[in-house]
Structure 1
């Protein structure tokens, strides 16, 4: 689970270098952009998949109220998620992990 801290750092690579870009829909952000990028780094075993999806889901929830996001907002979302995980890793996983990923 400590890898989750490293995973959230990878979120920054999913955002483009533009000043501002639209916040993609949930499925695009989590399933097509964030999760594949994280799994390439940590592997696709069930524990890594669950942790990666939780980190992606957390970041998306931080950004979902915005129409567009800046790199700073994207980075801030990852920081919030890292902090939340550090405070209560088990609670973080319960809150953000998808039951569909436990297959």
Structure 2
């Protein structure tokens, strides 16, 4: 696919428009989620069922490894490191 610089510029502008729309949609989504969370907290419930959804708001835990502390205790972790290579498109 060979396109001109003018076409490339149009595509970049379109990408920027869609990114702005996605950011705006994400902000709206966060606001709506905050309202749902407020409802759940206010009513002191962790599960609610509506006509179209089952809503839960529960705490959860996550266990992670402290890489810095492991390196302090065990030395280099290089032999356990997995490196993945991938391409990234950035438009500034």
> Does TM, scored on the shorter chain, surpass 0.5?
no
More helix by share: 1
Provide the TM-score with structure 1 as the length reference: 0.25
Structure with larger Rg: 2
Higher relative CO (CA 8 A, sep ≥ 6), structure 1 or 2?
Answer: 1
